[in-house]
Amino acid sequence: MPEITLEHITHHYGDKEVLKDFSFSFVQGKTTCLLGPSGCGKTTVLRLISGLETPVSGIVKIDGATVSKNGEIAVPPHKRNIGFVFQDLSLWPHFTVYDNIAFGLKEKRERNIKEKVSDILDLFGISDKAQKYPHQLSGGQKQMVAIARSLVLQPQVLLMDEPLANIDTHLKEDILGHLKTVQKQQLFAMLYVTHDHKEAFHTGDHILVMNAGKIEAAGTKEEICNSTSNYVKSFLKF
């Protein structure tokens, strides 16, 4: 199974430093939640792993191979076999649901595209929406399409940037249930960004609490709850 390692990452946008000497290795085949307040650098971690950003300094490794290093990109995003579900979902508005999901498969010249798309649509229960355009879907349906679009390519890592924010608990659990089912089948690692500790405890096998570009605490739910860090205690409102 692949391993994702971030070594001594420092990154900034203009004058604003968002990550400071950040190092971490992500647990394989499990779900790791990045938990922290807005602007603490959670999304930046995902963008660095995906290759949408290159770290100003530091190294990103996947499977032991360096994919980005000190501002240089060695492996472009589409060759990292990573799925990314964006916060705003970013479904392509000029493609139907079917085309949104099939696009990556077509570009990678995969076989049995129709079957693969049909299977994933069935799994999420949105087969009847295949020919609809994104603007014709409800919020929950859009979220399912965005996740299905990433999963159909069978990524080794799935990055989720608060994609389930602003939906009701029932639907959120429904989507997470589908996601867990696929994770068990495909055994991909999932990195899930959230600012809600209840969601993190519910979703994550491991949790990473971040503050101002640094790791404050890391571990299982129990370990985080028992953390001695004042920041963690305050953030969790214990």
Partner 1 sequence: MDRRVSTHIIRIVPLSLLFIVLVLPLMLLLFQWLTDTDRTVLLSFTDQKTLLLIGKSLWMSFTAALLATCIGTICGFLLYKLKIPYSGFYKLALLLPLLISPYIFAVAWKDGLFWLLGNSAAVYSEAGVITVHAFVFFPLAMLITGSALSQVHAGYEEAGLMVVSVRRMVLKIIFPLIRPALTTSFLLILIFSLSDFSVPAFFGVRTFTTEIFTQFSALYDFPMAIGQSVLLLLVCLLLMLTEHRYLSDAPFFSVSTKGSVSKKYNVQKRQMLWHGIFWLLLIVVLLIPVFILTVQSLTGKTLFFARAWELVWPAAVQSVKLAVAGALLTTVIGLWVAYEKERRAHQFPNVLLLLTFIVPSTVLGIALIRYYNLPLLNFIYGTSLILLIIYVGKFGFITSRIIGNNIKQIPVSLGEAASVIGIPSKRIFLKILLPLMIPSLFTAFVLSFILCLGELGATVMVYPPGMELMPVKTFTISANAPQALTSSMTLINMGLTMLLILLFFIIGKWVFKKYQYA
- Residue 18 or 209: the one with the smaller Cβ distance to partner 1 is 18
Judged by beta carbon, residue 63 or residue 168, the one nearer partner 1 is 63
Backbone φ and ψ of 22, nearest 5°: -85, 125
Rounded CA-CA distance 17/126 in Å is 42
Q: Considering the complex, what minimum distance in angstroms separates the CB of residue 84 from partner 1? A: 5
Strand boundaries in 70-135, DSSP class E: 72-73, 82-85
The CB-of-192 to partner 1 minimum distance in angstroms stands at 17
Interatomic CA distance for residues 111 and 159, integer angstroms:
25
Q: Which CB, 60 or 224, lies closer to partner 1?
A: 60
Between residues 161 and 216, which has the closer beta carbon with respect to partner 1?
161
Q: Least separation, in Å, of the C-beta of 159 and partner 1?
A: 9
Neighbours of 167 (CB within 10 A): 16
Nearest distance, CB of residue 70 and partner 1, angstroms:
13
Q: Which of 34/159 has CB closer to partner 1?
A: 159
Q: Which residues bind partner 1 (CB under 8 A)?
A: 50-52, 76-78, 82-84, 86, 88-94, 103-104, 107-108, 149-150, 153
**How far is the C-alpha of 164 from the C-alpha of 88, rounded, in Å?**
10
Q: Are 157 and 2 in contact (CB under 8 A)?
A: yes
User: Which pairs with CB-CB distance under 8 Å and at least 24 residues apart come from 10-18?
Assistant: 10/55, 10/56, 10/57, 10/58, 11/41, 11/44, 11/48, 11/53, 11/55, 11/56, 11/58, 12/56, 17/213, 18/44, 18/213
Q: For the CB of residue 228, give the shortest distance to partner 1 in the complex, in Å.
A: 38
* Cβ nearer to partner 1, comparing 134 with 197: 134
Rounded CA-CA distance 148/18 in Å is 30
- Tokens found for residue 108: 């990678």
Rounded least distance, CB 88 to partner 1, Å: 5
